[in-house]
Structure 1
Amino acid sequence: MAVFKPKFITFDCYGTLINFDMAGAASAIFADRVIADQMLAFTTDFARYRMDEVLGEWKPYSAVVCQAMARTCKKWGVEYKDSDGAGIMEACATWGPHPDVPAGLAAVAKEFPLVLLSNTMNDLITHHVPRLGAPIHRVFTAEQAQSYKPRMRGFEYMLDELGCGPEDILHVSSSLRYDLMTCHDMGIKNKVWVNRGHDPANPAYGYTEIKDIGGLPGVVGL
């Protein structure tokens, strides 16, 4: 079978490319309030509340993080301070790519324009794009689209801005829930799941699985 050659390879950024360690940041901040053997459950709830917070109308990502953290603390009966959310946002700006990302991206960037669609703010992503190790053609944020994934509006905004249709892109993400399930519903047939352990596999969504970005060149025949 012929290898699909997309007009654009589009990516989720945080988690897929950038090592998005929200759990680590929260664990450090709450080490004095949550006992160690409960921290995984605490940070898992934090992740679930972040998902819930992005399903409504757009708001700044700092508000998403702070409100999700406050809800997590309420559930756990833990004190929440405004400095907690601010500390997590400060940590976000320091994170770099997974080790496999720069070389993998550089290999595919030789032939395909690379595009980011990210649940972030315009100013936050400026810290991370230069760390990816490859030229990025376009960057689209939730702030620009006024909508967060997994809602469809961000994908629609990206496709409109690129002047292409669902059939023209290959979308790459480590998250089924934020990205690939929505892609499936929108008719984006060409999808790659980077299995970083964020979600359980579900092949019914019709993706190609790779273990890291180093496997991406092979997907597009390089």
Structure 2
Amino acid sequence: MKLTDFKALTFDVYGTLIDWESGMIEGLKGLTARVDRDLSRDEILEAHARHESSQQKYTPAKKYSELLQIVYKRLAEEWGVPFTREECVEYGESVKKWPAFPDSEGALQYLKKHYKLIVLTNTDNDSFKGSNEKLGVHFDGAYTAEDVGSYKPFDRNFDYMLEKITSLGLQKSDILHTAESMFHDHGPANKFGLANCWIYRRHDQKGFGATMNPGEMPTYDFRFNSMADLVKAHQEELRA
């Protein structure tokens, strides 16, 4: 199997192209500063993952920006910190400010010359619009949790994507699902028989950060530590 075998890349955005962990830490600074003990970065991210995943299960049709308001509230309760409704709303809106990884825009511009680029993201359309402005590329398809009415790793999101790509002249064998999260993306990719590429952004860190532990580790067809490394591998294939 080679990278050049595929016609399209289907992307997770947050954690893969957008540095959501740094965005979360920054957006929660006002809250974590009021906690009466020191919280490590991973403690914050792992607590966020627990509450986010739970809320996505119980309110799958809720917009991501609104869902994050509840996550903020649950975190404040867990840490015993008073909070305001305004703080919850502000955190929910912070997604648009989360930074892109430094290599994302350049990598996407290169890959756009060789593939159709498609997004399958656990966010809402307005939040994704803000993030997409940082990525500097026009995606051929963008399928959000708001569009689908549920969140990955639910089957429904992948069913939706696989149905919609047919209108782009693609079928399952044409796409390489490219993502960081083992929980949200690679587990379902295995289940659906999708070729998959792990962008292992947390290769130099322990644990799973802002995503839930997937349990048994999914398999993958390619692994790179960055989008820049993916581009280099593609360029090497073309030169071979």
Residue in 2 that maps onto 1:138: 141
Q: Quick check: 1:62–1:85 contact (8 Å CA) kept in 2?
A: no
Q: How many residues align?
A: 220
Residue in 2 that maps onto 1:169: 175
List structure 1 segments (4+ residues) > 4 angstroms apart after TM superposition.
1-4, 200-204
Distance 2:79 2:197 in 1: 36
Q: Quick check: 1:106–1:135 contact (8 Å CA) kept in 2?
A: no
Please report the TM-score for the alignment, with normalisation by the length of structure 1: 0.88
Distance 2:137 2:64 in 1: 25
Q: Quick check: 2:10–2:117 contact (8 Å CA) kept in 1?
A: yes
Matches within 5 A, 1:98-177: 98-163=101-166, 164-177=170-183
Indicate the SS of the match to 1:128: helix
Kindly indicate whether residue 74 of structure 2 is the aligned counterpart of residue 71 of structure 1.
Answer: yes
Residue in 2 that maps onto 1:53: 55
Select which of 188, 191, 196 maps to 1:185: 191
For structure 2, the residue ranges without an aligned partner over 5 or more in a row are none
Kindly indicate whether residue 218 of structure 2 is the aligned counterpart of residue 213 of structure 1.
Answer: no
Indicate the SS of the match to 2:51: helix
Please report the TM-score for the alignment, with normalisation by the length of structure 2: 0.82
Offset, 1:3: 4.6
Kindly indicate whether residue 101 of structure 2 is the aligned counterpart of residue 87 of structure 1.
Answer: no
Aligned residue identity for 1:24: E
For structure 1, the residue ranges without an aligned partner over 5 or more in a row are none
Indicate the SS of the match to 2:57: coil
Distance 1:2 1:170 in 2: 10
Which deviations, in whole Å up to 9, do the C-alpha atoms of 1:126-157 show, x marking residues without a partner?
11213213332111111111111111211111
Q: Quick check: 2:51–2:71 contact (8 Å CA) kept in 1?
A: yes
Q: Quick check: 2:65–2:95 contact (8 Å CA) kept in 1?
A: no
CA RMSD, Structure 1 to Structure 2 (Å): 2.3
